[in-house]
Structure 1
Amino acid sequence: MDNPEEGVDRAVAAQPVRRLRRAERREQILDAATRAFARSGYTATGLDDIAAEAELTRAMLYRHFDSKADLYRAVLDRACTRLAEAVGTDDFDGDAIPALLRAAAVDPDGFRLLFRYAVREPDFRDMIDSITAASHEVARRTLSRRIPEGPWLDWAANLLPTFTLEAVIAWLDAGRPDPDQAAERISQAVHGVMAAAHPARQKEL
């Protein structure tokens, strides 16, 4: 008679091992890399750290990404794509700040990587510079409907994108207080900048 325990072992071994499809595995790695990079930064994070975060081997990472730099750029690309899908790129209207807050709340690590950490990495600064240039263009186009051409329009168009992003990051860092009111509070601060740039407001001051 066969040993019952051996029969159990054979049955377990015969069960198919669930393997993720390539796209699913890539997403798993990107999720883990986003967490690891956001926790320790690009320089201090090694592929072994990311492999441990993803509960995979280092060899598995190399099946999907050629290097740490390749993986980091893929993380930033995905964060950029998600942000563009959530917020859009056409106008800085009344829906922009609520959409920005929602995007940051859904992917806080990716948001911080884009706007706090990657900007400090010379090898990846090109991606952030392109986002910054596009944001300034959108801000200028929107503000030009309220503020005449001139240095104060330039000032506001350069300041508002940075101001808004920093306000959202500060909101994340503060623990995301009052999520139902956060967009309105940040909007009030943004309108304060716009008012300061308007000629009529300048005369009052």
Structure 2
Amino acid sequence: MLSVAQSVNIIYKVNMSHDSPGQRRRAQRRARILDATLTLVRQRGIAALTMSEIAEASDYTPGALYRYFPSKGSLISALLQRELSKLSEHLSTRAPAVCDDPVVEALAQLLALGDTLRRLARERPATLALLQGSLADPARHVADEDAIHTPALIRLLTRIADRIAAASAVGALSTGDPSERALSWAFGLLGNLQLAKLQPLDARLAPDRLAGRLTHDLLLGWGACPRALGSARTHLEEIP
């Protein structure tokens, strides 16, 4: 049976095979602009970034850049759409089963999901900067009419909510709104990961450590049995 990622790749290749050479070149140019923007977001942040800077980094004139993206907001939203879709693909793969106990197994899957989010934050610092500068920033950088990334964000949160709901279904967690829990977990992790600048002041503020602690404490707060949660973590650490 094909994985979600394999299915997406097949669909992408089929679609690309029907695209004209001009459409493929346009898609490649858009991707180059998005890549340059992601690099700049990490260096400069979103608020201070200008279309002129993006055009220069992409080797386009500002006028040419506006043919691909009519505004900074539309460009940032397209970038968010791409990066959120990549994250969602990563989260579509379940961790290897660790035991026959359905409660411990469900908790292990949630811990593995949290570990994946933390790992992606370490491996994709530019994507983390993008999410922190847009989703975690109260300032509105994308107008409603430009927000094409919203479905991708909903898909990502739905993947998390589905795992939480599955854990509740086997009694690993208490009954609760999985969507609300997914929001609390995802944005709680995002907030913790912003503490990197404070880590030199106190080792206890290491964002990866705090993010791991947040996952553990949230699961306990949602009704996870401490012993089952400890067993789930032990089983995960035994996976080669």
- TM class, shorter-chain normalised? 0.5 to 0.7
State the Cα distance separating 1:24 from its structure 2 match: 3.1
Q: Is contact 1:37–1:113 with CA below 8 Å preserved after alignment?
A: yes
Query: What runs of 5+ residues in structure 2 fail to find an aligned partner?
Result: 1-23, 95-105, 201-206, 227-240
State the Cα distance separating 1:136 from its structure 2 match: 6.3
Most deviating of 68-77 and 159-168? 159-168
Q: Distance in 2 between matches of 1:118 and 1:154?
A: 17
Matches within 5 A, 1:45-124: 45-88=49-92, 93-119=110-136, 120=138, 121=140, 123=143
Question: Structure 2 counterpart of 1:137, which letter?
Answer: A
Q: Is contact 1:97–1:183 with CA below 8 Å preserved after alignment?
A: no
The aligned residue for residue 154 of structure 2 is: 130
Which structure is larger by alpha-carbon Rg, 1 or 2? 1
Aligned residues with identical type, % of pairs: 22
The aligned residue for residue 161 of structure 1 is: 186
Matches within 5 A, 1:20-35: 21-35=25-39
RMSD between aligned residues = 4.0
TM-score by length of 2: 0.55
Q: Distance in 1 between matches of 2:132 and 2:33?
A: 21
Which of structure 1's runs of 4+ aligned residues deviate more than 6 A? 182-185
Deviations 1:84-141 (A, max 9, x none): 1222288953432332233323432223322442453262577287368526633641
Q: Distance in 1 between matches of 2:182 and 2:76?
A: 30
Higher relative contact order (CA closer than 8 Å, sequence separation 6+): 2
Are residue 40 (structure 1) and residue 45 (structure 2) matched?
A: yes
Q: Is contact 1:160–1:190 with CA below 8 Å preserved after alignment?
A: yes
Distance change in 2, residues 1:25/1:174 (3 Å): farther
| Equivalent residue pairs, number | 176
Q: Is contact 1:139–1:157 with CA below 8 Å preserved after alignment?
A: no
Secondary structure in 2 aligned to 1:45?
coil
Secondary structure in 1 aligned to 2:56?
helix
Q: Is contact 2:173–2:223 with CA below 8 Å preserved after alignment?
A: yes
Distance change in 2, residues 1:41/1:93 (3 Å): same
Matches within 5 A, 1:184-203: 186-198=211-223
Q: Distance in 1 between matches of 2:79 and 2:29?
A: 14
